[in-house]
Structures are given as C-alpha cells and as structure tokens.
Structure 1
Amino acid sequence: MYLTEENRGKIWGDIPYAVECLEGLDGDFLEKVYQRHVKEPWEILQTDRLIVREMAEEDLDALYRIYDQPGIEDVMDGLSGDREEERAYVRAYIERAYPFYGFGLWMLVERKSGRCVGRAGFFMREGFDEPELGFIIAREAQRKGYCMEACGAILEYGFRELGFERVQALAAERNGASLAVCRKLGGQRSGSIVWEGRSFVRFVWSR
C-alpha cells in the first residue's frame, strides 16, 4: 500500500506492507515481500561455513534434534513436549515475530551439507530494553567453532543493519560454554540476575 497524507492515520489491518516512497521499491524489497507471501524464509546472512536464515515450519524435527541435550531446561527454555503445540508456536512466530520486529531467532544451516546445526539470533526479553542475543548448537555440531562464527556475524549484523546501540546476553552461571562464547565475543560483564529461578551472568555489547 502507498501511504499518503490522506490515508496515513487510518487502520489497515489486512495490509501487511506500506511504503511512503516509491524509490524504496527495489528488487530486494520486492523479493522479500514475495517470500513473506509464500512463507519462504528470508536468508539473513552467510559466513564461511553457515547460512543464517529464518525458521520454516519444516524445521520442527531439526529443532527437536538441536534441543535434545541433557539439562537443557536448566540453562534455557526448551521446546514443548507436545509437538503439535510447538508446531503452532513456530507457525505463529514466523507469521508474527519476524515481520513485527524485523529480527528473531534464526536457523544455522551448514552450507556444505544443508543440515541445521543450531539456532541463534535476537529476541526481546520482558523487562529489558536491549535486544538479547541467544544461541544453541546441536550436540553433534559442538566444538567446531560454529557458535563463535555465527554469533560474531549476527552481532555485526545487529549493529550494522538493524541499528542496535546495545545488545545483551544472559548466560547461565552453570553453562561454561555459553560464558566462554560471550567473553570471546567481547561481551562486557554487567552483573548477575536471577530469571525464573535460574542464575545468569549478563553480558553487554555496545556499538
């Protein structure tokens, strides 16, 4: 929809996109609009070994494989025990979170094999103003440097493309691997907090 002074104040609940300058309608924009329409995940970025892209409903099996780790719920929120409930959540996340925020948690896909090896990206935690970096790597893909490779590129994307001024991460005090990743990525420790009964160390990155 093309915004004008006459229609700017109206509510257009069924209109997913609006523009106020036709010069912004380049090929990349139109391709992304088409991908949203046909529910095709956006590719966010690529690294040497990984493709970072939005989730698709077809990733459900991969998500359960990635989150199948001992003690996962001690350090982060897990998935629902009801697969159909989780499928509905994933569908709603794709349809609402990505378009609303312009970012979210994304899939990490190994370029060589096409296999999903993790999940990382940004989300908003209730009670905080800064977007939060979150990440998880599948057990079989750990100790290969994938987390550092993906999160380093994602942080850069957040500051450069999304215009973030600050980003935070909460790493569980008992999760040595996550603590190490945040330190190696240059995060500055900013105290500790207890969230839903779990203790976390807070790290912050600034532009």
Structure 2
Amino acid sequence: MFRTLICSNELNKDELIREKLQSWAKSGLQLVLLPCDPTELANLDLQQCLWIVTRDEEWELGTEKGIAMLPYVPELENVDKWNFCDNLSKLPSFPKAENIISGFESVDLEYLDRIYRREKNLPWIIAETEEFVLRELTLQDMDGLFRLYEDETLYPYVEPLFEYDKELEYEQQYISNMYRLMGFGMWLVCDIHTGEIIGRAGLETHDYGEQTGLEMGYLLRKDYRGKGLATRVCRSIIEFAKRELSYPELNCLIHSDNTASIALAKRLGMKLDGKIDNHGKEMLRYRMKLRGKV
C-alpha cells in the first residue's frame, strides 16, 4: 500500500472529493494538498506516493520525478460523443497514461492501491488472510514457480511449465495481456509466514461452444493439502469474481478421476453439468451461479 496521496488543493473544494480525502486520511493515509503550481515535493518519499494529477504540467513533473500518477479529467464525463475527437484534443493529454478517472464515486483505497501497484510494476494483492496471500505473479517469482512444479503429484492433472527461457517469455506476456488488460488471471498462493509459493489459483476464460465463460483453476503443493486451504483460497477467488467481474457463472473443468478436486467443487456449491472436450481431453464441467440465472 502506498503511504502518501498527493493532489491539488483545488480538488479539496469539491464536497464529494473532500469527504473521501478526509476518510482516507482518517484511515492512516498521509494526505498532501498542493497549490495549483506545485514546486515543493522534496520532503516526501516519492516512491511511496500516488499523485492524482489534473494538468499536463503536473504530469510532466511527476514523470520527471518518477511518481506514480492517476490523471483526473472530470470534463470527460461531458465530452460530446458526436464530436469526441475534436473535444478530446482540448483536454489534458497525459501521454502514456493507462488509467484516467472522470469522477470519484467508485474510487476507493483498494482501487488507488491497484493503480499505484500498476504504475510501480508491483503485483496486485487479491486476498490476504492469516495463512495465505493470493497475489499476482512477478518475474522475480520464476525460481519459486519452478520449485512448485517439481511436485510430481501435480501431474497428470496439471500442464507442465515450458523450459525456463520460454516460460519467462510466456509469463512476461501473461502479465501484460492478462493481468493488465483483463484484471485477473492465474495467481500465486503464498504462505503468509514464509512468503513461499505454495500453489497457484485463479481465473481465466474458456470457450464453451458459442459462449466464453469464466473458469477457476487451482493447485497446491502436496504438504499443504488436506487442511481445507484449497477451499478457503477458492472461496476468496469466488468472492473476487462476484465483486469485481460481471460474468454470470463460474466453471471448473476437472478430470473424472480427480476425486479431490471433485469433492472441492462440491464443497464450494458447484454442480455437475455434464462432460466437455478440453483440447482433446474429456473433462467434467462443474458450474455455479455468480449472479442472475445460469
């Protein structure tokens, strides 16, 4: 979590924004309100800051100093869609910004922390409990990932990794294309006490006939099984899917002889819905409703 939120004092004049800023400050976040032309940032640990910028000059200064930034352009809400390009050219440009907000209604500390982590190339924390952390993979995790897959009991239910260099290239693309674009993917399960990688679990998409559905996958290291941990990890994933995503249902594809995974799917409230061909392999399809009717 970043420690300091920087923004112009002008934002504090908006009642909704002021209430949010005050609530975040009460939660322990350091709040720095700058004048319209900020010139003094020397006393801050800039690597622990997130700056909500509103003008090109602020963006340029933040870029120069390496500060994580989130542009705020309220005018975007009122841009005429029929003359979008012409009107957009009159707004602040913020080149290379991956995220821009036009309002604060849905902005909370979790959202700001995720923006900060994206800007600093830090992994998102999906869930954290007294026993595990569920988080995104980084390239610094490669050695631990390969150690995890040395567990021979994972096979034949899990696809092996590529050779190291090819897997490294694959994970680089995965971080860019799944985590950054989709906002979800296969994550790492880490022991909260040791930080060791003890499993993988998460969400991906799968084609079911003419529809694309959400699929949950999971695996744990042998010495962490049989303790109910997989159930607790999967429940945190289900909560994420309900809270963050708009898919109506969740699927699991399971080998017919994988009795442990079948039992887990049932504990989670998933129902068997026949069999499906998955790249030439016949799998059992378990489903559960996330919202609405399946």
TM interval, short-chain normalised? 0.7 to 0.9
Give the C-alpha shift of residue 162 in structure 1.
2.5
2:116 corresponds to 1:34: yes
2:176 corresponds to 1:120: no
SS at match of 1:75: coil
CA radius of gyration, larger in: 2
Give the C-alpha shift of residue 31 in structure 1.
2.8
Aligned position for 1:104 = 185
SS at match of 1:148: helix
Aligned position for 1:179 = 262
Of 119, 132, 145, which aligns to 1:63?
A: 145
AA matched with 2:143 = D
2:275 corresponds to 1:192: yes
AA matched with 2:176 = E
- Worse overlay, 50-59 or 66-75: 66-75
For residues 71 and 110 of structure 1, do their structure 2 counterparts lie closer, same or farther at Cα, with a shift above 3 Å needed? closer
Aligned position for 1:154 = 237
Deviations 1:65-100 (A, max 9, x none): 2222437453233211x1011111112211221121
SS at match of 2:274: strand
Total equivalences in the alignment:
206
Aligned position for 2:29 = none
CA distance in 1, matches of 2:148, 2:236: 20
Identity %: 26
CA distance in 1, matches of 2:285, 2:159: 17
2:130 corresponds to 1:79: no
SS at match of 1:118: strand
Q: For residues 44-59 of structure 1, what are the structure 2 equivalents within 5 Å?
A: 44-59=126-141
CA distance in 2, matches of 1:206, 1:200: 20
Give the C-alpha shift of residue 158 in structure 1.
1.1
CA distance in 2, matches of 1:23, 1:186: 34
CA distance in 1, matches of 2:202, 2:286: 15
Higher relative contact order (CA 8 A, sep 6+): 1
- The gaps in structure 1 that reach 5 residues or longer are none
Aligned position for 1:43 = 125
Query: Is the 8 Å Cα contact of residues 66 and 139 (structure 1) preserved in structure 2?
Result: no
CA distance in 2, matches of 1:192, 1:122: 20
Give the C-alpha shift of residue 160 in structure 1.
2.6
Query: Is the 8 Å Cα contact of residues 75 and 174 (structure 1) preserved in structure 2?
Result: no
Of 240, 249, 256, which aligns to 1:166?
A: 249
Give the C-alpha shift of residue 108 in structure 1.
0.8
Give the C-alpha shift of residue 147 in structure 1.
0.8
For residues 6 and 73 of structure 1, do their structure 2 counterparts lie closer, same or farther at Cα, with a shift above 3 Å needed? farther
- The gaps in structure 2 that reach 5 residues or longer are 1-70
Q: CA RMSD in A?
A: 2.5
Give the C-alpha shift of residue 24 in structure 1.
4.8
AA matched with 2:174 = Y
Runs (4 or more) in structure 1 with deviation over 6 Å come to none
Deviations 1:13-63 (A, max 9, x none): 943112222555554433322211221101111234111111111111222
For residues 142 and 15 of structure 1, do their structure 2 counterparts lie closer, same or farther at Cα, with a shift above 3 Å needed? same
CA distance in 2, matches of 1:93, 1:180: 30
For residues 28 and 196 of structure 1, do their structure 2 counterparts lie closer, same or farther at Cα, with a shift above 3 Å needed? closer
Aligned position for 1:137 = 220
- Worse overlay, 165-174 or 121-130: 121-130
2:107 corresponds to 1:19: no
Query: Is the 8 Å Cα contact of residues 154 and 219 (structure 2) preserved in structure 1?
Result: no
